[in-house]
Chains A and B, each alone.
Chain A
Amino acid sequence: MPPIILAVLCFLPLVGLSSYAMHILVLVIMWSIIGMGWNLLGGYCGQVSFGHAAFFGMGAYSSGLLYYHFGISGWWGLLVSIPVLTITSLVIGFICLRLRGAYFALATLALGEVLRVTAENLVKFTQGDLGILIKQRTWVEKTWYFYVILLLAAGSFLLVKKVMESKLGYYFVAIREDQDAANSLGINTTLYKTIALCLSGVLTGMAGAFYMNYMGYIDPTTVFPLYDISIVTVMVVMVGGVATYWGPVIGALIMVFLAEVIRSMPKIGAAHQTLFGILLIFIIIFLPNGIVGDFRKITGLFKPRGALK
């Protein structure tokens, strides 16, 4: 299944889609990566984060600052974001992972905001609210950006799959289900939660580094926002399906399209956050496992009543 979808996606740019359609596709794939990253930590390991903007922003800024301070291509940010995000995750993990449940979520939420305010105020280092502009974008066409992000997404998908089928995956789920029980079964919960956080942070950060190169401009409010990144990340995974391989992809597809559709509607467009909120409530009540997780339930709705069996 994944190779077929990958092959179809590889040929998609050759069909001659409009620049706008390609843009939407690139965003969908980028959000799938962020969703996969979040899913590792929040879905499989059970540590729900409301601060993934911190990772996204750190990735974007490690790319942007390389370009701004050293004049080298922002694409190096994809590589540099790996050590940067590992260190960021270790620091965040050291502070937040001793907390459980809602307290962990709140701490990550606060840290995301702290990073945004920091980026706004370290004017000499980050240019503050002026943001960072890459003067010459690498490609005018979207095609190559599409292939870069597709490659990243395929890599992330494989990584998540490999991790979840290994000892790490079993340990993550064991920690999600019951930390104390996991601990007394010989699992060093702090260590494995930290590993989940690092993997999650690196994936999200690489998506951020890509974003810098793709959009060509970032400032603290576009890459560190609580709503537009952190909350949307949670929604992507919730809508698609927590702790499923395809959940983040489906979730990204729906969320990006919905955002575009709603925003383009006259008058209602301004209320897109409200509508997202309502959508989330519906998902939580009727499809608590997301579209992928509750797929059977959805197909069941379309079967004629009484004709079961």
Chain B
Amino acid sequence: MSLLQIQHVSKRFGGLAALTDVSYSVEKGKILGLIGPNGAGKTTLFNVVNGFYPPTKGEVLFKEERISHLQPYQICKRGVGRTFQVVRPLQRMTVLDNVIASAFLRAKDKAGAERIALDALQFTGLYDDRSLVSKSLPLGKRKKLEIARALATQPEMLLLDESFAGLNPFEQNELIDIIRKVKAKGITIMIIEHHMKVIMSLSDQVVVLNYGEKIAEGTPKEIGNNPLVIEAYLGEAERA
């Protein structure tokens, strides 16, 4: 069953076409990797799904319901959580308070919110850092905090925007484990990523964007062998 359906979505900013007629769907319980060169429109697509931008054309369905006219907080309530490419923890709050703030979405009282938050922190391995001010966290932990915050809203689907950028190999492996655990909980994931190793090892399905258009879709293996993709993306990366 497809949990999220993106149907003929186009997004224009004035004369600039950031997305042109993109369609695909994400199967429940799977991980979909969204890749493409810089400026391909990946984050724009996240912003459309997440409700920051209404699509110029087309629509987004979540559990067969149209969500592309809703506000981000309403979409979050329906079960879509997201993280940001530029990490945005609530700087002057402690790690625990950060997660509590998002846990209130599903909790009746503060005790309930704290329970959900502590669970999320344990899950992401941040439990011992819970009383630190989030400003003082190193990047790797901030990325985990982003995921913990999104998880505390108890989503059915998680949008991860470049969670691996800037991490060292050790932190990358830790994060891969966390994402596998999230998947094991039955949460569907859509992930934007530049690290090919990460995408190839995690994704069940890969969608490739280039200049705002979908140029390929398939299993990681199919994508790796697709000449269009190699030219647009992998080829470019090799030259660089």
Contact = CB atoms under 8 A, between A and B. Distances in A.
Contacts of A177: 89-93
Contacts of B102: 174, 185-187
B77 A186 contact: yes
A186 B88 contact: no
Given A170-B97, A185-B150, A188-B71, A180 B88 contact: yes
Nearest to A190: B71
Nearest to A166: B110
Contacts of B97: 170, 173
Which are the 7 A-B pairs with shortest beta-carbon distances? A177-B90, A186-B76, A186-B105, A185-B102, A170-B101, A181-B88, A183-B72
A186 to B, nearest CB: 4
Given A174-B101, A178-B88, A184 B73 contact: yes
A167 interface: yes
For chain B, the bracket of interface size reads 20 to 34
B90 A184 contact: no
Contacts of B149: 185
A167 B114 CA distance: 11
Given A183-B71, A184-B72, A189-B73, A173 B90 contact: yes
A186 B73 contact: yes
A43 B168 CA distance: 37
Contacts, number: 72
Nearest to A174: B101
B218 to A, nearest CB: 29
A67 B160 CA distance: 60
B84 interface: yes
A167 B73 contact: no
A224 interface: no
B113 A181 contact: no
B104 interface: yes
A108 B105 CA distance: 30
Given A165-B110, A177-B91, A177-B93, A184 B101 contact: no
Interface in B151-206: 153
Contacts of A181: 84, 88, 90
B100 interface: yes
Interface in B73-131: 73-77, 81-82, 84, 88-93, 97, 100-102, 104-105, 110, 113
Contacts of B74: 188
Q: Which of the listed residues B81, B82, B90, B149 has the most CB atoms from chain A within 10 Å of its own CB?
A: B90
Contact of B110 (A167, A173, A185, A186): A167
Interface of B: 50-52, 71-77, 81-82, 84, 88-93, 97, 100-102, 104-105, 110, 113, 149-150, 153
A182 B102 CA distance: 8
Nearest to A177: B90
Interface string A153-174: 0000000000001110011011
B90 A186 contact: no
A184 B105 contact: no
Nearest to B51: A184
Contacts of B84: 181, 184
B185 to A, nearest CB: 19
Given A183-B72, A185-B76, A167 B90 contact: no
A167 B113 contact: yes
B50 A184 contact: yes
Given A170-B100, A180-B52, 8 more contacts: A165-B110, A170-B97, A171-B104, A177-B92, A181-B90, A185-B73, A185-B101, A186-B73
A171 B113 CA distance: 12
A167 B104 contact: yes
A23 to B, nearest CB: 38
B71 A171 contact: no
A187 B150 CA distance: 12
19 contacts: A167-B104, A170-B100, A170-B113, A174-B90, A174-B101, A177-B89, A178-B88, A178-B90, A180-B52, A180-B72, A180-B88, A183-B71, A184-B76, A184-B84, A185-B73, A185-B76, A185-B153, A186-B73, A187-B73
A165 B100 CA distance: 12
A189 B74 CA distance: 11
Contacts of B76: 184-186
A100 B199 CA distance: 38
A186 B153 contact: yes
B5 to A, nearest CB: 20
Contacts of A178: 88, 90
A183 B73 contact: yes
B71 A185 contact: no
A188 B73 contact: yes
Contacts of A184: 50-52, 72-73, 75-76, 81-82, 84
